[in-house]
Amino acid sequence: MKRSKLVFIGIVMVLILTQACTQNKPNATNDLDRKVDSVLSLMTLEEKIGQMTLFTSDMDQTGAFIRKEYEEDIKSGRAGAIFNAYGVAYTRKLQEMAVNNTRLGIPLIFGYDVIHGHRTIFPVPLAEAASWDLTAIEEAARIAAIEASAEGLHWTFAPMCDISRDPRWGRIVEGAGEDVYLASEIARARVRGFQGEGIGSLNSVVACVKHYAAYGAPQAGRDYHSVDMSERTLRETFLPPYKAALDEGALTVMTSFNDLNGIPATASKYLMTEILRDEWGFEGFVVTDYTSIMELMFHGVAGDTLEASRLSIEAGVDMDMQAGFYQKALPQLVRNGKVSEELINTAVRRILKVKFMLGLFEDPFRFCSEEREKTLVMSADNLEAARDMARKSAVLLKNENNLLPLSKDLKTIAVIGPMADAQRDMIGSWSAAGDWTKSITLLTGIREAVSQSRIIHAMGCTTDGTDMKGFKEAVDAARQADVVVLALGENYWMSGEAASRADIGLPGVQQELADEILKTGKPIVVVLFTGRPLTINKLQQHAQSILLGWFPGTMGGSALADILFGDFNPSGRLPVTFPAHVGQVPNHYDMRNTGRPFDANNKYTSKYLDVPNEPLYEFGFGLGYTTFEWSELSVNQTSMSEQDSVKVSIQVTNSGLMTGTETVQLYIHDPVASVARPVKQLKKFMQLTLEPGQTGVAEFYINSLDLSFFRADMSFGTEKGNYMIMVGPSSNTIRSAKIELI
């Protein structure tokens, strides 16, 4: 009998047994639960544990391949999921191994790190956050999901919801920055984009909330390092974005590498069960990060494979990524009575449920359409959306004497610096299946934008080297030009996983190159490429204009040229503070005050002896090519009860000559409370796009939830008293009013 026929018979048996299993298990309350339990009832212990095992595919110069031992695991039902495998032909091949060879024909689920685009690469996530445009961020995730699902993927390891307030940490590039509210709203937008109309639609992928929890707060900013924080800090600052993504419907969660207060996340029942499931009601499945179960031994909480596996399954971890520890240890642990098989059953139910929701039992190959792969990947519309996102993500940090936008009638432009034609760097880290050879560099974008101008290009130096031999060529180019565009920053590999930096200034001799170019006296526009905040005091002091381009994606060069030459008015706002000195870190905008607040005339107040307290650029900061005038802040009532809401409004007028977008930011401060409160916290924002002379009104409604916090006894709620409402274009430039909660 052919294997496919055997699989068909197995599926029929599942359907026949559905009713019987329902009668035996009263907790199966709907059709989906009944289907899951029907399959589970047919499975051996080893087959169940196979569903809890995730292995990687590999890539070499000839393309994707699967290791021989993993191929055997797939065919024998010892692996239920594969990651790093994409492409219709390849995923079909692997799916056939599972469906046509295993006893029950249970399909695989394919996952991949689709972080900021799949084939069409958008700006890195921190850059997208700088747009403050939730609609555009959702659309970027939507396009990523369309492309990924068209290439056979079901599951993305995103969004990253880690708050980070330490720019030394390389993975700050993958998140939404330092603010709880902004990061939470962006987490929701990305989940909506990835999961689309719902799991099971052919253009959606399952979202995975990572890295749970508090991965963005490693000591010393060093990746994978310990995290130690109070319960208050955990709940006020780090947990909300994960919760927001789950509330939006994300179906999977990834554990973080770090320990939290001495307990590694992958072994933390407190995180994985007590908070995630019991408190938040999460019903999806939890997967580890890469080899995290194995790493419990290096943390020093497990002595061997058996103990590491027992700790993880008891904590509430359902799927083991890459370590293979569950596969090796769980059968023995169950048979020895050290782990209950019901724990295994619970984990497998969660995994099978997602596979049913994806429609894989109905048709394992439903995501394997060559037609969709040909027509939906890197389409013209997708590329235009990436260009638009890159424009919205760029932040104008300085524009002395309105040097920008540049005239398109300039005769000679010198494009200088190691990042000017850095094609690989445009798409940044975690660029999935993106093809960097298709990315558009700044040099190419400028040449396309002003084809009639003479463009002189000189690299000057490498990004991180010490060789200054190219300085002369660069200086000669600058002297010939009407204006210099100086492209500086990090290489893509300097931000991301395992890319922490103790010194977050410009790498190599780039500052020395800038110094030499500045000596020419030519007008200079610095375009900064980075995945993190950098300390660029000298550039801020001497360069006339600075445009933060981040790692802008496939269409980055074209997008930045749009801004440089005035086809787009920059509207990005910083989602993270840029420190003036690395010694200020952490230096986020929403710190608490002290008993000795800063006083320049009193040494014995909270400050440094050698540098100011102020950052180089504050959270929410960003310039544009037009100006805005703001009215005074208006509130419709000065007091409110727990059941009331207060309307806060402000008028904004475009007083300049170009259409522009202003991001109106609302902050709250509780000056007297049972616990010291931050000096301000973002609670609302909206964007107004106004033509010259046009006035727009930003309206917000403040209710008791906006005023709530974790009180002295750690209960969550409000306290009566006065609250300051502050509105403005950044966290430092504000207008305020006072309301009273009665």
pLDDT at 63: 80
pLDDT at 23: 41
Average confidence (pLDDT) over 164-190: 98
Active site residues: 289
Q: Are 530 and 428 in contact (CB under 8 A)?
A: no
pLDDT at 59: 83
Read off the tokens for 26: 């009263």
pLDDT at 24: 44
**Unique residue bearing structure tokens 């000096």:** 679
Read off the tokens for 727: 């509105």
Distance CA 583, CA 177 (A): 19
**Unique residue bearing structure tokens 């899951």:** 36
492 secondary structure, DSSP code: G
Per-residue model confidence as pLDDT tens digits over 432-442: 899 999 999 99
Average confidence (pLDDT) over 395-416: 98
| pLDDT for 703 beyond 50 | yes
369 secondary structure, DSSP code: -
Per-residue model confidence as pLDDT tens digits over 492-541: 999 999 999 999 999 999 999 999 999 999 999 999 999 999 999 999 99
Average confidence (pLDDT) over 412-426: 98
6 vs 628, which has greater pLDDT? 628
Of 261-265, 358-362, 498-502, 733-737, least confident by mean pLDDT is: 733-737
| pLDDT for 13 beyond 70 | no
Average confidence (pLDDT) over 405-427: 98
Q: Are 457 and 466 in contact (CB under 8 A)?
A: no
| pLDDT for 29 beyond 70 | no
**Unique residue bearing structure tokens 């309307």:** 647
Q: Are 592 and 628 in contact (CB under 8 A)?
A: no
Give residue 14's pLDDT band: very low, low, confident or very high (50, 70, 90).
Answer: very low
Going by C-alpha positions, the residue among 5, 56, 14, 20 that lies closest to residue 35 is 14
Proportion of the chain above pLDDT 90, given as a percent: 95
Give residue 1's pLDDT band: very low, low, confident or very high (50, 70, 90).
Answer: very low
| pLDDT for 8 beyond 50 | no
440 secondary structure, DSSP code: P
pLDDT at 9: 43
pLDDT at 181: 98
> CA angle, corner 14, sides to 12 and 20, nearest 5?
120
pLDDT at 400: 98
pLDDT at 733: 85
Distance CA 440, CA 436 (A): 9
417 secondary structure, DSSP code: S
Average confidence (pLDDT) over 676-688: 98
Q: What is the 3-state secondary structure (H, E, C) of 126-187?
A: HHHHHHCCHHHHHHHHHHHHHHHHHCCCCEECCCECCCCCCCCCHHHHHCCCCCHHHHHHHH
Distance CA 395, CA 717 (A): 36
Proportion of the chain above pLDDT 70, given as a percent: 96
Read off the tokens for 663: 């991001």
CA 644 to the chain's CA centroid: 35
Question: What are the residue boundaries of the structural domains of the chain, listed by start?
Answer: 1-42, 54-372, 390-584, 628-741
Give residue 613's pLDDT band: very low, low, confident or very high (50, 70, 90).
Answer: very high
Burial 574-598 (b: 16+ CB within 10 A, else e): bbbbbbbbbebbebbbbeeeeeeee
| pLDDT for 611 beyond 70 | yes
Overall pTM > 0.85: yes
Question: Do the two domains 54-372 and 390-584 of this chain adopt the same fold?
Answer: no
Tell me yes or no: is domain 54-372 CATH 3.20.20.300. yes
Read off the tokens for 322: 């890459």
Give residue 151's pLDDT band: very low, low, confident or very high (50, 70, 90).
Answer: very high
Q: What is the average pLDDT value for the chain, to the nearest integer?
A: 95
Going by C-alpha positions, the residue among 703, 717, 707, 662 that lies closest to residue 685 is 662
Query: Which CATH architecture does the domain made up of 390-584 adopt?
Result: 3-Layer(aba) Sandwich (3.40)
Parallel/antiparallel/unpaired status of strands 252-255 and 285-287: parallel
Of 23-27, 569-573, 580-584, 587-591, least confident by mean pLDDT is: 23-27
pLDDT at 232: 98
522 secondary structure, DSSP code: -
Query: Which CATH architecture does the domain made up of 628-741 adopt?
Result: Sandwich (2.60)
Question: How many beta carbons lie within 10 A of that of residue 68, not counting itself?
Answer: 8
How far is the CA of 586 from the CAs of 174, 440, 600, 664, in angstroms?
Answer: 18, 35, 21, 25
